[in-house]
Amino acid sequence: MSEGLERLAKDLQGAIENLVLLDAVDSTHAMAGRLIASMAEEEQPLGTTLILAARQLAGKGRGDRRWESPKSGLFLSWLASGIDSETIARLPLLAAVAAHAAITGIGVAGARIKWPNDILVGGRKLAGIIISARHGEPTWVTVGLGVNLHSAPVLDDAQATPPTSVSEYLDGGDPDIWRLQLARSFVRNLNAFIRDPMPAIEAWRKHLVQVPGEALQVRLASGEVVDGTLAEVTPEGYLRVVKGDTERVIASGEVVEG
């Protein structure tokens, strides 16, 4: 194990119990699901775990769409159990602020949060987050984070937010160092925000791209597109969208315009 990885393991002592480091994997999120299922089947305990990889071969993003994963990126999944349902509901916001703080902390300026938890710089996507929960005894949650470090993927989807990478904003840096710095900061921040969520929620609202009064369109998981004017971002992080006499409160989806 290199000096940097040894330091990462040392710095995260007390925050995680297991650290899995990989050059490449199909998907850290998929691996997390397999690990949780295996431990549950064998009725074995699994402590808080961090899976960290430099490349994914079959990453998935929101809506089960393929997440293009260029080499020398950051791809991680954080697994934890024993988290209450209220905190689980807040995880999309808390993870977004943890990622925003980590990215800002390595020197990337101008990062914003696109509802609910994509990280944009200059209107282009730098990082994405995916969260899932496996309910049972105990309930497990997995928080996945992907950050383009050395290069940005080339996308065929004309509707997708154009991508960017850390290397476009930090000259002469080392993606291997960025990867460890971001992983360390993200896990520390996420743990802190879970313990004390209110400052993080306020920060999420502050850094949010979408603001009341603007027109926007939101694609729901069903494929339906809701359009209208954003009236409010509720305390829970939901969008209250108004069109004429109709009002919709949207808890999850993807902003596709606005």
**Residue 111 Rama label (left phi>0; alpha psi -120 to 50; beta):** beta
Residue 23 has a pLDDT of: 86
Run of H or E residues at 198:
helix 197-207
Cα dihedral 99, 201, 123, 154 sign: positive
Taking only the tens place, the pLDDT of each residue in 86-107 is 999 999 999 999 999 999 999 9
DSSP string, 95-143: HHHHHHHHHHHTT--SEEEETTTEEEETTEEEEEEEEEEE-SSS-EEEE
Nearest-10 crossing angle of helices 3-11, 175-195: 0
> Which neighbouring-strand residues pair with 250?
239
Taking only the tens place, the pLDDT of each residue in 38-96 is 888 888 888 999 999 988 886 555 555 555 555 678 999 999 998 999 999 999 999 99
Residues 218, 222: Cα–Cα separation, whole Å: 11
pTM over 0.85: yes
Residues 144, 236: Cα–Cα separation, whole Å: 21
- What is the bridge-based pairing of β-strands 124-134 and 140-147? antiparallel
